[in-house]
Amino acid sequence: MEPRDIDGDLTEILISEEQIRARLAEMSRQIEVDYAGTDLLLVGVLKGAVMVMADLARELHHPVTMDWMAVSSYGSGTQSSGVVRILKDLDTDLSGRNVLIVEDIIDSGLTLSWLLANLKTRGPASIEICALLRKPDAARVDIDVKYVGFNIPNQFVVGYGLDYDEKYRNLRSVGILAPHVYSTVAAAAL
């Protein structure tokens, strides 16, 4: 859907569909160079990374396999706590594999740093991170993210896989959610 389909729920369109497509193409060219001649396993983090995984994988001129994890990070409201639980684990044995974690957004970084530590214990040949969005001002842990699409301000965003209360994931662009939408609900974002 387009921003006009949720009229009034966004204060601003932060990143357009065209900008996302162009940036994913640039990132894909870099990934193709970095992984030339090697196998590549993309690990998507459900549910937010569904759109970026689908578009990145199709943009890549490189054979990949794909697997998925679902994790839940507990916290209050829209804040992550770093306490992570695996809701769905990988089906793939990581030993000797070149793993690229595909994420929608890095906020505090707590979820991803936990995930990275967990996956590293499984013996991959290499493990790197690709995130469409990152909020540098929200970082609470230092993570080395090899591929970042866009650095964005420390505001709650939705669209292109990102939800608020499971809504807005099918918005084609990324936008800043209007405060009136979430001020009444104290739901935790996954």
The beta strand positions in 89-125, using DSSP E, are 98-106
Residue 175 contacts ligand XMP per CB under 6 A: no
The beta strand positions in the chain, using DSSP E, are 10-15, 41-46, 65-74, 83-88, 98-106, 126-134, 147-151, 157-158, 174-177
Nearest-approach distance from CB 95 to ligand XMP, in angstroms: 26
Question: Which of the residues 153 through 172 are near ligand XMP (CB under 6 A)?
Answer: 156-158, 162-164
Instruction: Enter the tokens of residue 159.
Output: 């669209």
Nearest-approach distance from CB 111 to ligand XMP, in angstroms: 3
Q: Which of these is catalytic: 55, 104, 107, 163? A: 107
H or E element, residue 83:
strand 83-88
Cβ proximity to Mg ion: between 48 and 149 the closer is 48
At which residue do the structure tokens 């009136």 appear? 180
Which residues contact Mg ion by CB under 5 A? 45, 48, 104
Q: Is 107 one of the annotated active-site residues of the chain?
A: yes
Question: Which of the residues 93 through 112 are near ligand XMP (CB under 6 A)?
Answer: 104-112
Nearest-approach distance from CB 25 to Mg ion, in angstroms: 22
Q: Which residues are catalytic?
A: 107
